[in-house]
Chain A
Amino acid sequence: MNDARNTILSRLKTASIDQTMPLARNISNSVNWSSNYKVQLFRTQLQSAQAEIYDATDHSWLMTLQHICQAKYLKNILLSPTTSWGEAIIENSTNLPSLKYYDDPVENWKQTLFEGIEAAFTSTYGGIADTGTLILWPDTQEPRMMSLVPPVHIAVIEKSKIYNSFAEALKAQHWNETELPANILLISGPSKSADIEQTLTYGVHGPKELVVIMV
């Protein structure tokens, strides 16, 4: 295969490149919305992609979570016991469904994850207003399949972390200066498909419902 590598690269390198097109990366057609407007746009965009949005505060979000779990008749919910959000949930778990923790490598409980878990609760790394997008940086505490396998994904986002655009989020969060996680996800609604007659249907392979709590 090394042969293939060298053949391909040497063919590419013999090509004559006469002019390169100037590329201005810092062109600023970027917007700068007020935080209120960003939150409003974020909400509108996510709602138009069939996500459910709840407004809450630092104090009320746990009640919102309880309300969501009850309204959906959830029997269990997967969460991280070690994030500050998870710790708060564990302390106030009386009105919540059975709490499940992702504390084992997936190989040891894949079947249960795929068949037995009804919902997962995760934090987010930020949000994008103009597309209505959650940014997730899954890690050892909140593994990536939490936002993929359970039929309901409940995510909490701090309004202060909603950026105007993806381009702005990259810069503001200094993505190119840090070691990137194994997997970064931008999530903009529940799973969907329009492969049949270009007609939208939700809940194809990922979560059927995306619920976002803004604090």
Chain B
Amino acid sequence: MTTKFRTQFAKALAQHEVRNNTESVVNKLRKHRLAAFPDQAEWISMRRHSTAIRANATSKLPQLLEQLETNLQRNGIQVHWADTTEQANQTVLNIMRFHDARFIIKGKSMVSEEMGLNDFLNTHGIECLESDLGELIIQLAAEKPSHMIVPALHKNRKQIARLFHSQFPSIPYTEDISALAQAARRFLRHHFATAPVGLTGVNFMIAETGTLCLVENEGNGRMCSTAPPVHIAVSGIEKVVECLDDVPPLLGILTRSATGQPITTYVNMISSPRKPNEKDGPTAVHLILLDNGRSRIYSDPELRDTLNCIRCGACMNHCPIYKHIGGHAYQTVIPGPIGTILEPQKNGLDSYGELTQASTLCGACQEVCPVSIPIPKIINRLRWEHIRKSSCSTPGAGSGRRKTEAIIWKIWAWNCIHPGAYNRITSVATSMRRLADRILAKISPWTAARAVPRLPDTTLHERLKALKIDNE
């Protein structure tokens, strides 16, 4: 069976350099995370608290969004709502046009990736420049991020050195990581100073105070939200928390889960534009709240847990599938386990339903999730939605249903509840096992790379009878 995803996965598996780079970085991230939670009891208590904070916020989502909006507006931050990515893009464009701006400098934002903002603005004659080191590398290479936290993890220093050398011929070729970072610093500094508009994502929005929290290490997020006269923040509607007290626990578990740091270099809490008599900071701050399917996901009590995600990336770092195929093979904005449940719900099971099969259901993702999202359970639920008969709230439900498969399972089910038929069929299968070997070897991709398990020459029932064991 060859499909878009299977072809892509096979291609990804053949890219040995990408696989090595990916594996080496996720191994480091796992090690760092493990060292950051030395005490199991403390991890359990931190996780329980963070899970409760996110669940509480999600349960009050509409009320908290209204409270957030009121407080942000009181503080002077302009709030825009976008039902779709098109609306969100258009809002950014309107703000750019209002300020007569043709250049935007960007901090890391997965929501702007979701919007396809750079491409959209480019078609309207606006230049976008990524300022996070990883995002800049990706932009120069004209690629997409392969990880939420470390967007360029699929590239090693040699590849980046070649890329920088081809893009900035004036800079001497170097494979020294520090020199590469300094090259990016020199290149971007002038742009920070002159950009008319800066755009960033958001990690948490505090309803109680009307505050946007951004977490980062490089300082580019601070630059984008501080140096230009206009700051646009984009966020999914789910990123709201109820109060200030909810921030320290979430922050602590986010940074530890993501990179093993007790805290990032910068935590940037923005509550208003420049105040009277202040000498810097943007004079206008905009927040764009993006729905794009989130409120639909919210309508289902089980799928709703998807929205608790704080985007730490730990599930990717611990996923045996992600480690081997890398982020690009998913062909989604967000890859890895959280992507396999989020993207099909957002974009439809008809086009992304097969992604739910990119899992062994080993459960590692749920085990390391700082807010306990039951990813395997939701994967199973979506697998069922993908092949179910009736429709449901998830778009594309039932699109994966195949008649022959459904009939085979129906026969199987009937067989399992009719012992007479079951015994007869298993005994026939046993007696014809040489033929069965040959059929099994052909029908499954599983057996293409593995030895076919041989059917035994007697059935379990027959063997038990021979051993005189008979406890139905």
Using CB atoms and an 8 Å cutoff, list the residues of chain A in contact with chain B: 1-5, 7-9, 11-18, 20-25, 27, 29, 45, 49, 102-107, 110-111, 113-114, 128, 130-133, 139-140, 143-145, 148-149, 165-167, 170-171, 175-176, 180-199, 201-207
A198 touches B29 (CB 8 A): yes
| B residues adjacent to A (C-beta < 8 A) | 21, 24-25, 28-29, 42, 45, 49, 51-53, 55-56, 59-62, 65-66, 80-83, 87, 91, 131-134, 137, 150-153, 155-157, 160, 177-178, 180-182, 184-185, 188-190, 192-193, 208-209, 211, 217-220, 222-223, 226-227, 229, 237, 243-249, 251-252, 259, 262-275, 277-281, 289, 291, 295-296, 298-299, 301, 304
Q: Which of A18, A25, A144 is B281 in contact with, Cβ under 8 Å?
A: A144
Whether B280 contacts A145 by the Cβ 8 Å rule is: yes
Q: Are A21 and B157 in contact (CB under 8 A)?
A: no
Instruction: Choose one: B66, B80, B270, B275; the contact of A1 (CB below 8 Å).
Output: B80
Does B152 lie within 8 Å of A196, measured CB to CB? Answer: yes
- Nearest A residue to B277 via CB reads A140
Most central of B80, B87, B249 by chain A CB within 10 Å: B249
Residues of A within 8 A of B56 (CB): 20-21, 23
Which B residues are in CB contact (< 8 Å) with A207? 219
Q: Contact check, B209 vs A176: say whether CB atoms are below 8 A apart.
A: yes
Q: In the complex, what's the smallest C-beta–C-beta distance from B164 to chain A, in angstroms? A: 10
Is B81 touching A8 in the complex (CB atoms < 8 A)?
A: yes
Instruction: Give the dominant DSSP class at A's interface.
Output: loop
Once the chains are docked, how many angstroms separate the CA of A72 from the CA of B182?
19
Whether A191 and B25, one on each chain, are in contact in the complex, defined by CB atoms closer than 8 angstroms, is no
Q: Are B279 and A188 in contact (CB under 8 A)?
A: no
The distance in angstroms between the C-alpha atoms of A171 and B245, with both chains bound, is 8
CB pair B278 A139 closer than 8 Å: yes
Contact A25 B181 (CB under 8 A): no
Do B267 and A185 have beta carbons less than 8 Å apart? yes
Q: Measured between alpha carbons, how far is A131 from B219 in the docked complex, in Å?
A: 18
Contacts of A166 in B (CB 8 A): 247-248, 251-252, 263
Interfacial chain B residues near A186, Cβ < 8 Å: 263, 266-267, 269
**In the complex, which residues of chain A have a beta carbon less than 8 angstroms from the beta carbon of B209?**
175-176, 180
Q: Establish whether residues A143 and B279, one from each chain, have CB atoms under 8 Å apart when the complex forms.
A: yes
Closest Cβ of chain B to A59, distance in Å, is 31
Contact partner of B91 among A1, A143, A199, CB < 8 A?
Answer: A1
State in angstroms the CA–CA spacing of A113 and B190 once bound together: 11
